Structure 1
Amino acid sequence: MSTTPVHAPVSGRAVALRDVPDPVFSQGMVGYGAAVDPPHTVVDAVAPVGGRILKLMPHAYIITTSENVGVLVHLGLDTVALKGVGFSAHVAEGDTVAAGQTVITYDVPAVVAAGLNPIVPVVVMDEREPANVVVGDAVVNGAEIVSGSALFTASK
């Protein structure tokens, strides 16, 4: 069994996944993890793990680690509707990235102005066992977290 530390892709208030106001995330439909409610400024969303960019969309990205753990970062809820407005990619699909490397610049005020929730869910793709994801203290306490800090640990 391998363990993968997953770091916060943005700074903000750490949020338990069950508290994300979208059932796709809160009910673990795509996997388990945690979320970060970012400040209402333009922020750089970074890689929460090192690995290869498996999928890159304006509003979301999936990184696969060398242990074949896929981690999804979704910038805001229903942000696919913005068709890329408010997001600037710094990498391409297939690129290898280091944990902490900037992936997308995220214009949080543009998302809020569009009436959308800017929260950033981070999940282990296709993880069906909630016990395999152990959240950090910041998530348990709903505390502020700094980009790059431990968000949760995934076991596979």
Structure 2
Amino acid sequence: MSDHVLRVLAPVPGTARPLDSVPDPVFSQNMVGPGVAVHPETGTEGADDPQEACSPIDGTVVKLHPHAYVVMSPDGVRGVLVHLGIDTVQLAGEGFALLVEQGAEVGAGTPVVRWSPGRVAALGRSPAVPVVALDAAPDALAEHADGAVDRGDPLFTWR
């Protein structure tokens, strides 16, 4: 594992909460790794509130789906998963627009996907956004954000 600390930033604005706040055991039980969930504001029920979900770290987009993406750190050792909503794979890309291609080099804060948390909620899905340190040990994360975050604010550090 890398010796340096990786600072992971919020890909979307909202309220940072522990992963156990996510209504999906894959995330809430840390099955893919530890992390933090961002619960975006959805405004009026069914509102069209498009926003950009950004890269949480500098690196390469190694997996890209309309509802989720993984960015690998420049050293190729650590991957961060951003999952836009819960059970959103069932939406088959509806309401999501890719802004980069798989394999793109991105900086932290680069827009990756445009989506609408209000539309996700209107379609009966949770708009919670798990941000996961893939395959990390539970004690590898520190400085977890808890409360209001803006896009680009520190979410956690990965040692």
1:27 aligns with 29
Cα deviation code 1:24-82 (max 9, x no counterpart) = 00111001110100121321100000100000001000000112210000000000000
Q: How many residues align?
A: 150
Residues 33 and 135 in structure 1, CA contact (< 8 A), matched pair in contact too: no
Within 5 Å, give how 1:92-111 maps onto structure 2.
92-111=101-120
Instruction: Select which of 9, 12, 17 maps to 1:10.
Output: 12
Superposition misfits of 4+ residues, deviation over 4 angstroms: none
1:51 aligns with 59
Q: TM-score scaled to structure 2, two decimals?
A: 0.91
Structure 2 distance, partners of 1:22, 1:28, is: 10
5+ residue gaps in structure 2? Answer: 43-48
Please identify which structure carries the higher strand content: 1
Structure 2 distance, partners of 1:3, 1:18, is: 24
Structure 1 distance, partners of 2:143, 2:93, is: 30
CA RMSD of aligned residues (A): 0.9
Residues 42 and 106 in structure 1, CA contact (< 8 A), matched pair in contact too: yes
SS in 2 for 1:66: coil
1:145 aligns with 149
2:45 aligns with none
The sequence identity of aligned pairs, in percent, is: 44
Q: Confirm or deny that 1:114 pairs with 2:84.
A: no
5+ residue gaps in structure 1? Answer: none
Q: Confirm or deny that 1:74 pairs with 2:99.
A: no
Cα deviation code 1:98-120 (max 9, x no counterpart) = 10010001111221111000000
Q: Confirm or deny that 1:154 pairs with 2:158.
A: yes
Q: TM-score scaled to structure 1, two decimals?
A: 0.93
Using the TM superposition, give the Cα deviation of residue 135 of structure 1 relative to its aligned residue in structure 2, in angstroms: 3.6
Residues 86 and 108 in structure 1, CA contact (< 8 A), matched pair in contact too: no
Structure 2 distance, partners of 1:37, 1:135, is: 18
Cα deviation code 1:131-154 (max 9, x no counterpart) = 101143x32xxx110100000001
